[in-house]
């Protein structure tokens, strides 16, 4: 599972709410996780927190809850490493179209890019980039892990620069081969451009955002401001614990590893469509969920979490300056939840997330 520091087509609306379908009930229905949400503020130290849960079968519901001021369902926010699932979806679609193979070595598509200090693109496949078994060092270990606030003097790190920074270190040697690295997805962004002739952001818009009508989702490039409506993002000073606003920032350092902006509704819609087989053909969907190479830790741009009741959910988290977000869905996409806080400094994140997900996916939903 990614560490906190490392953390970044058929329209779903028609598929889920087709002709003659009754919309899912909204407020005042409570999901089982509603009573857990305040702990993200009280125990985690987040200024505000919110989640959106949706279940399409057996006591269906579609419910938003928030705690703290100025956090709304329609808000745009930075989604960090959830970007990786979008990038992986495009790569898998290209594989399904026969335009690349996951077994291709990086050097076949980007000759000479990865060479040095024991790193060798001739021995690293696209599959190894997707599931973080490439051994490529994480460029965020060399440059700041998160983008700088807008107006900072530091220049943004391009994808090619990120790779060069990573190659100043030797490959990561981890038993079992899995080592989460943002560099993998910086390279995949370059692969998409090489294969399609278009930037990865353009391909994500064309293949995912537009077909699914993700109207609150964007890849900002050099734009430092969040599109309206949006709240604010905060980071906590490690010395005195004070919160500082970091809403505006240059996301180009995050790039294909973490620049995405989205909303609660859009992320739920995306993961429901992805896990429901609406974006990938069966062969590619099976590859997405295959964790064999990582011994159950990570698929291709998604990772599983087995809950206390035996249910396994799939998704990703995103951790970027001023924001932390997590989306998970059951296999098939029938039950999905996204939660977010407006800080990158949430305390006890793993424990709080486990409790929230257990409450949502394991407890019996109320009927009123």
Query: Which amino acids are annotated catalytic?
Result: 81
Look-up: residue for tokens 């932390």? Answer: 324
Are 110 and 276 spatial neighbours (Cβ–Cβ below 8 Å)? Answer: no
Distances (CA, A) of 86 to 11, 83, 146, 227: 15, 5, 19, 20
Nearest 5°: the CA angle 81, 215, 303 is 25
Q: How far apart are CA 204 and CA 137, in angstroms?
A: 25
Look-up: residue for tokens 């107006």? Answer: 151
Among the listed residues 332, 291, 299, the one whose alpha carbon sits nearest the alpha carbon of residue 89:
299
Beta-bridge partners for 313: 305, 330
Q: What are phi and psi of 65, to 5 degrees?
A: -140, 150
Instruction: Check whether the bond before 28 is cis (ω within 30° of 0).
Output: yes
Beta-bridge partners for 62: 54
Cα distance between the two ends of the chain: 36
Q: How far apart are CA 356 and CA 64, in angstroms?
A: 14
Look-up: residue for tokens 């030797």? Answer: 170
């Amino acid at each position: 599972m990614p560490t906190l520091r490392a953390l970044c087509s058929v329209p779903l609306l028609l598929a889920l709410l087709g002709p003659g379908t009754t919309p899912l009930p909204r407020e005042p229905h409570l999901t089982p996780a509603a009573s857990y949400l305040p702990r993200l503020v009280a125990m985690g130290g987040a200024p505000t927190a919110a989640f959106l849960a949706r279940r399409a079968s057996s006591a269906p519901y579609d419910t938003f809850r928030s705690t703290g001021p100025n956090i709304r369902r329609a808000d745009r926010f930075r989604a960090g490493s959830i970007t990786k699932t979008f990038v992986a979806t495009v790569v898998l679609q290209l594989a399904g179209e026969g335009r690349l193979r996951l077994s291709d070595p990086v050097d076949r598509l980007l000759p000479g890019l990865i060479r040095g200090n024991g790193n060798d693109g001739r021995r690293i496949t696209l599959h190894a980039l997707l599931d973080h078994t490439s051994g490529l060092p994480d460029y965020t270990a060399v440059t700041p892990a998160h983008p700088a606030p807008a107006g900072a003097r530091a220049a943004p790190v391009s994808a090619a620069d990120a790779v060069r920074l990573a190659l100043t270190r030797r490959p990561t040697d981890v038993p079992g081969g899995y080592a989460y690295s943002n560099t993998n997805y910086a390279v995949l962004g370059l692969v998409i451009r090489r294969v399609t002739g278009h930037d990865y952001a353009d391909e994500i818009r064309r293949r995912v955002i537009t077909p699914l009508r993700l109207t609150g989702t964007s890849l900002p490039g050099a734009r430092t401001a969040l599109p309206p409506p949006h709240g604010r993002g905060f980071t906590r000073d490690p010395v005195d614990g004070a919160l500082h606003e970091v809403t505006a920032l240059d996301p180009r350092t995050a790039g294909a590893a973490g620049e995405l902006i989205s909303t609660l509704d859009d992320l739920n819609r995306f993961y429901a469509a992805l896990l429901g087989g609406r974006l990938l053909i069966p062969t590619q969907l099976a590859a997405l969920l295959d964790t064999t190479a990582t011994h159950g830790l990570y698929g291709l741009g998604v990772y599983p979490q087995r809950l206390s009741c035996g249910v396994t959910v799939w998704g990703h988290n995103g951790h970027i300056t001023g924001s932390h977000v997590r989306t998970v869905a059951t296999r098939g996409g029938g039950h999905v939840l996204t939660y977010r806080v407006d800080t990158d400094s949430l305390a006890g994140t793993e424990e709080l997330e486990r409790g929230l997900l257990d409450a949502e996916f394991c407890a019996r939903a109320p009927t009123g």
